[in-house]
Amino acid sequence: MTPPKRAFAESFPVAKPVRLEALIEYGEDAIVSRTLARTESGTLTLFAFSAGQGLSEHTAPFDAFVQVVEGELDLIVDGEHVLAKAGENVLMPASIPHSVNAEVNAKMLLFMLKK
């Protein structure tokens, strides 16, 4: 019998406490991403933004839930600025324009939740 496929990447520790910020490093003048899990229901992706980097305005077909893991991010959701700091979370609804800007080094966990 074939074991079920894991939703989480094989490299993600099982049944151990994990500090998410330790799972990804900053790149020089870059955005680094690492997909931690992928299922039919959505994805879980860790991002590291070096200061001055960001994602330009776009929309997504699914709700996006952002958890700031380190630093702070300026999220613009439907034209409204939302400053989110480490430990804070922001919901960005499906089909609503949004962008992400890092004035300082920052890491975030992004949950994309399919309907």
For residue 89, give its domain range. Answer: 46-113
% residues pLDDT > 90 (the chain): 81
pLDDT in tens, 19-71: 999 999 999 999 999 999 998 899 999 999 999 999 999 999 999 999 999 99
Does residue 96 sit within a domain?
Answer: yes
Domain assignment of residue 101, yes or no:
yes
Q: Does any domain span residue 8? A: no
The answer as to whether 17 is a domain residue is no
Evaluate whether residue 109 is within a structural domain: yes
Q: What is the spatial distance between Cα 76 and Cα 32, in angstroms, rounded to a whole number?
A: 20
Counted domains in the chain: 1
